[in-house]
Structure 1
Amino acid sequence: MPLKIAAILITITLLTGFSQPDPDEEMTIILELKDTPVSTFKNHVASRLPRLEIVAEYETIFNGVAVKGMPSELEKISRLKEVANQYPVQTYTTQEEVLAEPSLPLTTDVVRPNTPYSGKGVKVGVIDTGVDYTHPDLEGNYQGGFDLVDFDDDPMETTEDGATLHGTHVAGIIGADGEMKGVAPDVDLYAYRALGPGGMGTSVQVIAAIEEAVEDGMDIINLSLGNDVNGPDWPTTKAVERAIELGTTVIVAAGNAGPDTWTIGSPATSENAITVGASSLPTEQSLLTISGEDRQIPIRILQGSKPWNLAKKYPLIEMEGDQVEGVTGKIVLMRRGGTSFAEKAQHAYQKGAEALMIINHTNEPLHGSIEGLNLPIPVAAVSKEEGEWLLEKGLAEDQWVDTVTEEVDHGIAPFSSRGPVTSSWSVKPDILAPGVNVVSTVPGGYQALQGTSMAAPHIAGVAALLKEAYPEWTPLDIKQSLMSSADLLQQKGVPLPPTEQGAGYVDTEAAIQPELWIDPGALNFGRIEENLYRKKVKLTFENKRDTTETYHMKPPEKQPGIGWTIPTSFQLAPGEKKELSMEVHMNKSFMNDGVHEGYVTVEGGGEQYHIPYLFMVDTSNYEKISGLELYKDWETDADLTYRFNLTEPVDHLSIDLYRAGTMLHQGQLLDLDDPAEGLNEGEIKLNMIDDYAGPYLAVVTLEIDGKTYSYPFPVQL
């Protein structure tokens, strides 16, 4: 039976490490329904497929159900006419790393302004691992919640196997009121336990927690969790969007997959959520120097290591295997690989090293952990190029290295996930907040953690202050005030790009007393495919001052092939709102492929405001294959014709077809050796099941120079 192509859906990478389920084990999928009420669909399932279990229902923020059963039964339910989409259940994790024992004061003091507002009367829901509501700093503000792991009214942190502390830490940043003061110490705190032992949970639990929180009337929800699905259409992202439509401000951690771009994961991909990246506050940076060389190598301490406090010069040695001779009293260099960081560190310490420096196998920064080892020597890392330089200039030339320190400006944490968002090609994160060395409440005391999980609740606390000050503000008003007032972070006088910092670092006082609102907060032009491109966008400016102000707009710095037409100046009376147009025009012949980003500047009233913008020209470095099409060519006898574009030559390519939702393998479509760079086309003869109709994932696997890459493309057959 030939395939009939009803529609082709093309997207970029959704996940990595793809694997199919065991056909003999139960699994859960999420079904998004069309216009059918959930109760009607449940009755239909009970009568036709009684062996399936509806484990969760979503009617407030998502019209759908979570269904548990054997893959063969789930195949049947996914074909029902009431089903609009189906999704595999993703695993969500907390976004933090443990640091050393804390000492107060706290980083919450950095963003809590001198203001009469304290979040009083504002309801904040913490969707996380639960909260230790018996903690003396939290028990006064805790008001209740729900446990979506054990399905009861007791959302306490996991206390036995797989014990957690993450939700309590997040709650303290928002609203602790004791020895520690949160950003909004008088909020009403609610806990929704969606992540169980070990800080792990599923999209079923996360969506159910969002629904519970919205139905309980939360003003603000904090989601310090995420997955690796960089796309705007995942069900958790849709659930967040629906919660915002219903009037709840949703704060989401960007993720800890930086410093690579394209690493924002759902639900931080939500367009209207406030996605928060992590900043590092001004600090001292340790650097290695060699006498007579005009270069300094930054020292990146591994998590769990003692600080790098070497006060004199030391010789270097490269240590391999079980080497014993000549290690004592030296800084050891070891290459990454073979054994774990902890094993390398233990080995170097036992042989008498003063410190260990691990050399990465790429030129990217290395961020690792030796948590729990408690060694008395510091352990750090350098890139491959930096390590080779130390070996050449230090070891080979018998030069000793010295440690110096320098003041490091306020910047973005290396681990903080970067944008943009795939498919929508939009700017994320939206804003930055402190995420490094953040001390907060944990069961039994206090602990320093770091991650975007710690940055997000800072913004949730600030949002609570705004909601108390302006009860009539909508979620979009709160987001607009935060982004319009943010402070742009710079490095050596150059602003960090929007895909790292969004609108900039939170300025709480300016957000509470705004002077100018700009809507939208970021300009997302999308993907540019035409050779000549023009687009006009509208910006709304609202003067929040009580005086008339004149504003001047400045375009970004000139770039080849890009031109801007913007109003040079405009005036706003007190409280006046005005819509203005600006236009961008491009000629791709003069432009590089990839992401183009920057800021449009507005000056007025003695202040500067910055509007992030982003567009993508053709492709970027995140994908090696694009434009996969599977279609029926009526001029041939083939079951399917394929077409795709490769950005570089590939050693081997295969395409496997999996049912969406259940991910059952339906067969291999294609197996090619040495496909060429550029457009590849051909025909496919199928040898699969008779009933082909339905949604699939076509998983393209590429082998290039011994490395494997997977790219799933949703297709509708």
Structure 2
Amino acid sequence: MKHPLLELRSQPHKNFFQRRSRKMYRKTFDVILVLVSALSISSSAFAQAVKAPNAKKETKSYIVVMANAPIAAYEGDISGYLATKPGKGQKVNPNSTHVHKYGKVLKKSHDQSLAAAGVNASTKVNEYTFALNGYSTILTEAQVKALKTQDGVLMVLEDQMRYADTDSSPTFFCLTAEGGAYAKGFTGEGVVVGIIDTGIWPEHPSFADDDSFPLAPKLDSSRPNCEFGNTAHNANDEPFECNNKLIGARQMLDTYRYFIGARRDEFDSARDDDGHGTHTASTAAGNADVDASMLGIPHGTVSGIAPRAHVIAYKGLGNLGGFTSDLAAAIDQAVADGVDVINYSIGGIAAGPGADEIAFLFAEAAGVHVAASAGNSGSGAAALGNPGTMPWMTTVGASTQSRFFQGTVVLGNGVPYTGASITNGTGEAPLVDAEFAGGDLCLPDMLDSGLVSGKIVLCRRGTIARASKSLAVLQAGGVGMVMYDNSDDNNLSSDPHWVPSVHVDQTPGLAIKAYIASAANPTALIDAEQYGEWPSAPSMTIFSSRGPNPVAPDIIKPDITAPGIQILAGTSPQAIGGIPGEHFMAIAGTSMSSPHVAGIFALMDQAHPDWSPATVKSALMTTAHQDVRDNDRVSQADPFDMGAGHANPGGKWSKGSIAQPGLAYDASLSEYTAFTCGMEWGVIPSESCLWESGHLAPDYIK
């Protein structure tokens, strides 16, 4: 019996990247992406393999990319196999007979490529057929070399690590304006938003089903779709039945569990033990008018950008990050589930395309809108990371909004200094500089309780998590903390601290330090004022990663900016390292700005379900406003800071708005793959890229 891949390729057929031309001859190109995960699998053969001495040292996780089109892009060019690529405005149907038939032959080709390389097919970990064509597995170097030579294998990618790029936004966006999106009924009703992140806290009120949501669409049934209740691993992992708001939750951590494993305080399910995933999900699509409080202080109500959208959570990050093999599996599963929008507040080092970038290429071709964070590597040039460097991604920077959670430290001499705070205040208490009480960074177990007990402590930002400093103050007996920054550049954070705290800029911090040094008996009090105005909003944050694009310099990145600091949204009440019992937090990062754009995409998908992701992205960019300052709060931000400008979905949805932009550009899969040819990334077979007079002339441009 012939190898299924050879059976497919032996028949003359045009593929989804191909066209006829008098100057160009017919070539074959099909791309499928395969992710290689290393996880604890139930297969006995795999279990025996990983028990071998030094098995983990001798093997690595790889993603095998096959050379035939994934389900999301296959156009039916092979005799006997009808098209599975969805039509315009449609999604892949995982229950279709044609999808099952084509997917089955792809999976068979995966097994036979392994067998031909002398690798047991039972060692396969993840398998991909929708947004990618391939599989993930754990291989030795010799096995990698053998696989690369097999017919039908396009590339073998070494797995990479990715990390999380860690209210009042609807009003700030003017979505609530007369004649605006909400007034016209565009709230994300019926749209499915997929969140690839650290999981979700399903009982959170932002995801409660009040029986008013439309019936949830049917999800792919090839694996469990509401994974909660693994009490055998963690007794606090309560069972939960998904509903018409939170319609699904899947754990996608196979490679992570094999190489790193789940600690006892983590949840071995889709439940969120970090808070990051719950925060991004509730920002994009949390329910409207949810009462929010932090540390016992009420903060009114909050709403996601698309409050009527359905939510599916894909847990692709563990406590220490995630593998691209697992994340690509999440993308593949999201396409199979028929999601309309994906938020991806995740990033890694800038390099050529990895498994997740290629999976997103085909997800976009399947009609899925994707918002991704630009990264938090700061205001230096070319600081962007992957996958936000890719042209098919909508890459989001972080800027300020007008509302500012603030507190004020009032010194004993009557001088006040205002900074970021969400905590309660204090009465007047002695004030001590941590530099002379164990170290200005307030590291754990370093503060002298004899010098700190009963006092407010001045700490410098850096080295450890900000909340860890207030915990160190608490453990040393302190009653409050003033943390000063290392700059004056829009980098103040409203963290949920363990003691009453205020975060001030560097200049006031040094002034407070000078007061302590000069006063005989320095004192202070912390006044919790709650709300103020962020100066010069919107302005870029100092942490938001800037361009130029380090991977593809001709592609300007980021694409857009949105609010990404002091974003009040949901969290996990059992977040590792967090304050137990808290359901909300106000945090910062491009992780927080990206779900704002994902929510906007959900509104646009409801308003214009026939618009392609590229068209909606273009509408977002051509209607952005450029009244944005840089992180110094004075100079004008440029395109390498803010992209096209600040997202502007609000006001009346009439001519000139994002809903009727007047000018919008589409882009096809063929154009994106032509770009990859120009970059010589090997995403498609080299014979499908032709060169004439030094210029790219791919034979598949349509």
TM-score normalized by structure 2?
0.57
Does residue 378 of the first structure (1) align with residue 501 of the second (2)?
Answer: yes
Please identify, of 356-365 and 238-247, the stretch whose mean Cα deviation from structure 2 is larger. Answer: 356-365
Does residue 475 of the first structure (1) align with residue 613 of the second (2)?
Answer: yes
How many Å separate the matches in 2 of 1:128 and 1:340? 20
Does the 8 Å CA contact 2:192/2:339 hold for their aligned counterparts?
yes
How many Å separate the matches in 2 of 1:34 and 1:234? 16
CA 1:58–1:421: 2 relative to 1, 3 Å: farther
Aligned length: 487
Does the 8 Å CA contact 1:175/1:184 hold for their aligned counterparts?
yes
How many Å separate the matches in 1 of 2:340 and 2:388? 18
CA 1:392–1:121: 2 relative to 1, 3 Å: closer
CA 1:340–1:197: 2 relative to 1, 3 Å: closer
2:601 paired residue number: 463
Alignment of 1:79-94 (within 5 A): 79-80=149-150, 82-94=152-164
How many Å separate the matches in 2 of 1:339 and 1:424? 33
Q: Which amino acid aligns with 1:57?
A: E
Does the 8 Å CA contact 2:285/2:307 hold for their aligned counterparts?
yes
2:147 to 65, 77, 87: 77
How many Å separate the matches in 1 of 2:62 and 2:228? 27
How many Å separate the matches in 2 of 1:456 and 1:126? 11
1:32 paired residue number: 65
After TM superposition, give the deviation of residue 87 of structure 1 in Å.
Answer: 2.2
How many Å separate the matches in 1 of 2:203 and 2:459? 46
CA 1:517–1:455: 2 relative to 1, 3 Å: closer
1:162 to 266, 278, 286: 266
How many Å separate the matches in 2 of 1:350 and 1:57? 48
How many Å separate the matches in 1 of 2:408 and 2:571? 33
Does residue 319 of the first structure (1) align with residue 401 of the second (2)?
Answer: no
Does residue 228 of the first structure (1) align with residue 348 of the second (2)?
Answer: yes
Alpha-carbon RMSD: 4.8
Q: Which amino acid aligns with 2:125?
A: V
1:211 to 315, 327, 332: 332
More strand by share: 1
Does residue 171 of the first structure (1) align with residue 171 of the second (2)?
Answer: no
2:549 paired residue number: 421
Q: Which amino acid aligns with 2:498?
A: N
2:635 paired residue number: 494
How many Å separate the matches in 2 of 1:174 and 1:337? 30
1:504 paired residue number: 645
How many Å separate the matches in 1 of 2:434 and 2:423? 21
After TM superposition, give the deviation of residue 30 of structure 1 in Å.
Answer: 0.8
Does the 8 Å CA contact 1:174/1:461 hold for their aligned counterparts?
yes
Any idea what SS the aligned residue of 2:64 has? strand
Any idea what SS the aligned residue of 2:330 has? helix
Does residue 434 of the first structure (1) align with residue 563 of the second (2)?
Answer: yes
Any idea what SS the aligned residue of 1:66 has? strand
1:447 paired residue number: 584
CA 1:132–1:144: 2 relative to 1, 3 Å: farther
How many Å separate the matches in 1 of 2:113 and 2:469? 59
Listed one character per residue, the Cα deviations across residues 608-667 of structure 1 (whole Å, up to 9, x for unaligned) are: xxxxxxxxxxxxxxxxxxxxxxxxxxxxxxxxxxxxxxxxxxxxxxxxxxxx9xxxxxxx
1:66 paired residue number: 136
Does residue 513 of the first structure (1) align with residue 654 of the second (2)?
Answer: yes
Does the 8 Å CA contact 1:56/1:208 hold for their aligned counterparts?
yes
Alignment of 1:202-281 (within 5 A): 202-224=323-345, 226-231=346-351, 233-258=353-378, 261-281=381-401
How many Å separate the matches in 2 of 1:135 and 1:336? 32
Any idea what SS the aligned residue of 1:266 has? coil
CA 1:70–1:393: 2 relative to 1, 3 Å: same
CA 1:221–1:33: 2 relative to 1, 3 Å: same
After TM superposition, give the deviation of residue 400 of structure 1 in Å.
Answer: 6.6
Higher RCO structure (Cα 8 Å, ≥6 apart): 2
Query: Identity over aligned residues, as a percent?
Result: 23
Does the 8 Å CA contact 1:279/1:412 hold for their aligned counterparts?
yes
1:408 paired residue number: 534
After TM superposition, give the deviation of residue 288 of structure 1 in Å.
Answer: 7.6
TM-score normalized by structure 1?
0.56
CA 1:361–1:266: 2 relative to 1, 3 Å: same
After TM superposition, give the deviation of residue 29 of structure 1 in Å.
Answer: 0.4
After TM superposition, give the deviation of residue 311 of structure 1 in Å.
Answer: 8.0
CA 1:147–1:446: 2 relative to 1, 3 Å: farther
2:306 paired residue number: 184
Q: Which amino acid aligns with 1:421?
A: N
How many Å separate the matches in 1 of 2:220 and 2:375? 24
Any idea what SS the aligned residue of 1:270 has? coil
After TM superposition, give the deviation of residue 22 of structure 1 in Å.
Answer: 6.8
2:253 paired residue number: none
Q: Which amino acid aligns with 2:534?
A: V
Does the 8 Å CA contact 1:236/1:266 hold for their aligned counterparts?
no
Any idea what SS the aligned residue of 1:143 has? coil
Listed one character per residue, the Cα deviations across residues 520-557 of structure 1 (whole Å, up to 9, x for unaligned) are: xxxxxxxxxxxxxxxxxxxxxx983xxxxxxxxxxxxx
Any idea what SS the aligned residue of 2:650 has? helix
Instruction: Name stretches of at least 5 consecutive residues in structure 2 with no aligned partner.
Output: 1-53, 70-105, 231-235, 238-264, 291-302, 439-446, 574-581, 666-681, 683-702
CA 1:449–1:71: 2 relative to 1, 3 Å: farther
After TM superposition, give the deviation of residue 168 of structure 1 in Å.
Answer: 4.2
2:194 paired residue number: 125
How many Å separate the matches in 1 of 2:468 and 2:603? 47
How many Å separate the matches in 1 of 2:188 and 2:462? 49
Does the 8 Å CA contact 2:342/2:368 hold for their aligned counterparts?
yes
How many Å separate the matches in 1 of 2:651 and 2:356? 31
Any idea what SS the aligned residue of 1:218 has? coil
Any idea what SS the aligned residue of 1:68 has? strand
After TM superposition, give the deviation of residue 478 of structure 1 in Å.
Answer: 0.8
